[in-house]
Amino acid sequence: MPTMDASLTISAALLAFQFFFNLILALGIWILARGYNPTHGIRIQRALNPASFFFLFLVIFFVTMGPILMTRSFASMWLPTYGANIHSGLSTDGVKAWVFIVDILIVSTIILKTGGWKVSPFPPLNFSVPAIAILLGDSGGMVAVYTCLLAVIYGGSLASSRRFGGSGIAGRVEDDVALWIVTTAALALTTTIGVFTRHAR
């Protein structure tokens, strides 16, 4: 189990990651909102509806940043002010899992609302999650969960966009299958090497 100093470092790094993750997300949406891309059609119009996007952004901000500030390492700094037990707070590992899964699910929703995985600028945010999880010391099992979740969502989105014509980009089925296999295999290779070599000297 990591020491308090190590836990605080991890929690602080997670907080910094999530802050900049949200900032990049907001910046991307702001740039998209500067004009209308006919390739996206009505999907991007709905995504850029201020109320719709503001709600999604508030969800990802509060349901991720809040729990991070409630981790034991952070809580031990401010809970005593309110007379609470210094050992109270959420598990850092549990919060990391919650934050990364919420990130993947909500950003995947935003990707679908901004043209799909082939058009939207946001897939790199999702694909960065397993690497960040490795850097923040997540277990190999949890990294595998994030990677598999991304692979399933990505594959399902490609299949549904072809079936329902979501992204407006047609092509052979083989093109989508090859894209999915190469992308997920590269992600799996990267995360596997990262997990097995992160403690190497």
Domain ranges, ordered by start, for the chain: 4-197
Residue 174 pLDDT level (bands cut at 50, 70, 90): confident
> Structure pTM?
0.81
pLDDT-derived band at 182, boundaries 50, 70, 90: very high
Nearest to 75 by CA among 7, 153, 164, 23: 7
Q: List the single range of 39-43, 60-64, 96-100, 168-172 with lowest mean pLDDT.
A: 39-43
Q: Count the Cβ atoms, other than its own, within 10 Å of residue 178.
A: 11
165: pLDDT strictly greater than 70? no
Q: What is the pLDDT of residue 36?
A: 53
Instruction: State the alpha helices, DSSP H only, in the chain.
Output: 4-32, 42-47, 50-69, 72-78, 92-113, 123-127, 129-135, 140-164, 173-197
Residues contacting residue 93 through CB under 8 Å, at least 6 positions apart: 138, 139, 142
User: How far apart (Å, rounded) are the C-alpha atoms in residues 191 and 158?
Assistant: 22
Interior angle at CA 148, CA 104 and CA 154, nearest 5: 60
In this predicted structure, the answer to whether residue 41 has a pLDDT above a threshold of 50 is no
Distance CA 68, CA 71 (A): 5
172 or 78: which carries more pLDDT confidence? 172
